[in-house]
């Protein structure tokens, strides 16, 4: 099978150029939910990508975030996020990407390409062939403990009040070098793959957010599971990714946090204001 990567990279670059055009002139924010944003750029990027994928591989299915569902019985299916990081994009914060991945019907990931047009960074991975950033092989970090790690996480735009992630954010911040909430789950995973993050997790994600990033992490030598260590599947909504060296420690810490053990009590705002640093 010849590599999908060159064609995918060309499609990603084209979509990236289109997104940057909208980004510099700014776009109007529309709402899919209370804080679930969408813009004309999301839709235009999806239209372009879907047209190109269909032209190259008409026999493949496509599932894309802004509504495309086609050839759902096909043996292979594309998962497309035409703009991951819409909230950042809509506010002019330059952290967003395009994510595309191909999976077999049984969920096995074959290839993933993720492009950050703000930094001109092209990530690619193919099953069994490793992962690259701008054509150079990448590898996860060598960090051996959570205490020495930097990690990323994110918060969904649906059911915000019911999401317990703020407890995890608090606790993992106290137990590591720190956390980032950059606003693009796909890029967060790419950052684990290339060793900028030692780990990443999020509670509710969709396959278009995770497919390319998960393959990148796996092909770069990292590990991706659910929070309890069980196998990650494309329809798993939770994702825990790491450099693999700190994975078990993360699982153990997550168990503790879920069980509410060892949680630091927060001081009141007034109490903290009196603290001398």
Residue 70 or 87 having the CB closest to ligand IPD: 87
In Å, how far are 19, 26, 106, 188, 220 from 22, measured between CA atoms?
Answer: 5, 6, 36, 23, 32
Nearer to ligand IPD, 35 or 55 (CB): 35
φ, ψ of residue 4 to 5 degrees: the values are -80, -20
Q: Which is nearer to ligand IPD, 93 or 155 (CB)?
A: 155
Site for ligand IPD in 73-102 (CB under 6 A): 81, 84-87
**Number of residues in contact with ligand IPD, rule: CB under 6 A?**
16
Identify which range of 16-24, 25-33, 58-66, 220-228 contacts Ca ion by CB under 5 A: 58-66
User: Cα–Cα distance between 51 and 264 in angstroms, integer?
Assistant: 52
| Rounded Cα distance, 183 and 153, in Å | 8
Q: Which of 9, 46, 65, 126 binds Ca ion (CB under 5 A)?
A: 65
In angstroms, the CA 240 to CA 141 distance is 15
Question: From the CB of 81, what's the least distance to Ca ion, in Å?
Answer: 4
Q: Tell me the chain's radius of gyration from C-alpha atoms.
A: 19
Q: Which is nearer to Ca ion, 209 or 219 (CB)?
A: 209
**Which residues, numbered 2-31, are part of the site for Ca ion (CB under 5 A)?**
none
Check if the beta carbon of residue 103 is closer than 8 Å to that of residue 234. Answer: yes
Each residue of 114-142: b (16+ CB within 10 Å) or e?
A: bbbbbeebbbbbbbeeebbbeeeebebbe
Residues in 132-161 that interact with ligand IPD by CB under 6 A? 154-157
Minimum CB separation of residue 249 from Ca ion in Å reads 28
Contact positions toward ligand IPD, by CB under 6 A?
A: 65, 81, 84-87, 154-157, 183-185, 202, 205, 209
């Amino acid at each position: 099978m010849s590599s999908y990567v060159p064609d995918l990279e060309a499609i990603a670059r084209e979509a990236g150029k289109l997104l940057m055009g909208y980004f510099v002139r700014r776009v109007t924010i529309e709402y899919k939910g209370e804080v679930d944003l969408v813009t004309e750029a999301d839709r235009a990027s999806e239209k372009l990508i879907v047209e190109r994928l269909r032209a190259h591989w008409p026999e493949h299915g496509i599932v894309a975030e802004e509504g495309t569902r086609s050839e759902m019985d096909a043996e292979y299916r594309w998962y497309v996020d035409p703009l991951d990081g819409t909230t950042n994009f809509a506010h002019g914060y330059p952290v967003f990407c395009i994510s595309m991945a191909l999976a077999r019907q049984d969920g096995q990931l074959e290839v993933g390409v993720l492009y950050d047009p703000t930094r001109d960074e092209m990530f690619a991975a193919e099953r069994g062939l490793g992962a690259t950033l701008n054509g150079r092989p990448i590898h996860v970090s060598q960090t051996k403990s959570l205490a020495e790690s930097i990690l990323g996480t994110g918060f969904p735009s649906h059911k915000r009040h019911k999401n317990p992630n703020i407890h995890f954010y608090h606790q993992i911040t106290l137990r590591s070098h720190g956390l980032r909430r950059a606003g693009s789950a796909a890029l967060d995973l790419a950052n684990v793959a290339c060793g900028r993050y030692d780990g990443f997790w999020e509670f509710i994600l969709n396959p278009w957010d995770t497919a390319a990033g998960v393959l990148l992490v796996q092909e770069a030598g990292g590990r991706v599971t659910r929070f309890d260590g069980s196998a990650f599947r494309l329809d798993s909504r939770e994702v825990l990714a790491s450099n693999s060296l700190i994975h078990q420690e993360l699982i153990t810490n997550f168990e503790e946090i879920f069980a509410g053990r060892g949680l630091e009590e927060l001081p009141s705002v007034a109490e903290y204001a009196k603290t001398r640093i």
